[in-house]
């Protein structure tokens, strides 16, 4: 399934009179801008605005029917009404093409407040498309528990899951293997952890 087909499957929660631009077209611009290194909504909007003619010729007319580029507020309103879980579910058809996943821990910069520790998260990224697909918080430094919860949210059957040494331990490997995947530490037939 193509990325555009997945985006077209996302239901539009905006009110009918606020749908001048199809949601799939707006999301396609954001995805393309992100793939080109933009990491803020304004940056993505400016990236698209500078390439409006290219986008108009590249995207089908049912996804991008207008010559005029939408205002930043149009993107903001569409994202504000969008259910992230619904978008995530719609993208599963595209994500299934991933050959493998990487699980990695991160401390989020700028999240440390008033003597508290910085927020720690685990991310699951695709090896082929190099996009973060899932993210979970690590409560009380329990990376293993967070890693197991993260694995519960994704189909790893037939895929290789890699992780750093702090996570790639017996409970994690056993969970991957139980779900039909493999790790660099073992596979369905060779895991001795």
pLDDT at 48: 93
φ, ψ at 106 (rounded to 5°): -140, 145
d(CA 117, CA 108): 10
**What does the pLDDT look like over 130-163, one tens digit per residue?**
777 788 889 888 999 999 999 988 888 888 999 8
**Which residue, chain included where needed, has tokens 């993260």?**
150
pTM of the model: 0.57
Q: pLDDT below 70 — which residues of the chain?
A: 1, 93-97, 111, 129, 185-193
pLDDT at 185: 59
- Taken in order of first residue, the domains within the chain and their CATH numbers are 3-93 (no CATH), 99-183 (3.30.420)
Of 47, 26, 29, the closest CA to residue 38 belongs to 47
């Amino acid at each position: 399934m193509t990325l555009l087909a997945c985006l077209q499957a996302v239901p539009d929660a905006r009110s009918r009179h606020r749908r001048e631009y199809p949601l799939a077209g707006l999301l396609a611009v954001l995805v393309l801008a992100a793939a080109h290194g933009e990491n803020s909504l304004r940056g993505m909007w400016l990236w698209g605005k500078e390439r409006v003619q290219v986008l108009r010729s590249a995207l089908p007319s049912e996804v991008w029917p207008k010559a005029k580029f939408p205002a930043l507020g149009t993107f903001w309103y569409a994202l504000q009404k969008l259910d992230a879980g619904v978008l995530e579910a719609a993208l599963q058809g595209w994500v299934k093409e991933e050959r493998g996943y990487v699980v990695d821990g991160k401390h989020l910069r700028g999240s440390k407040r008033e003597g508290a520790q910085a927020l720690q998260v685990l991310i699951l990224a695709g090896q082929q498309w190099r996009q973060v697909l899932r993210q979970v918080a690590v409560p009380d430094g329990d990376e293993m528990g967070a890693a197991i919860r993260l694995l519960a949210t994704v189909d790893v059957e037939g895929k290789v899951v890699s992780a750093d040494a702090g996570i790639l331990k017996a409970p994690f490997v056993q969970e991957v293997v139980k779900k039909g995947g493999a790790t660099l530490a073992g596979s369905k037939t060779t895991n001795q952890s």
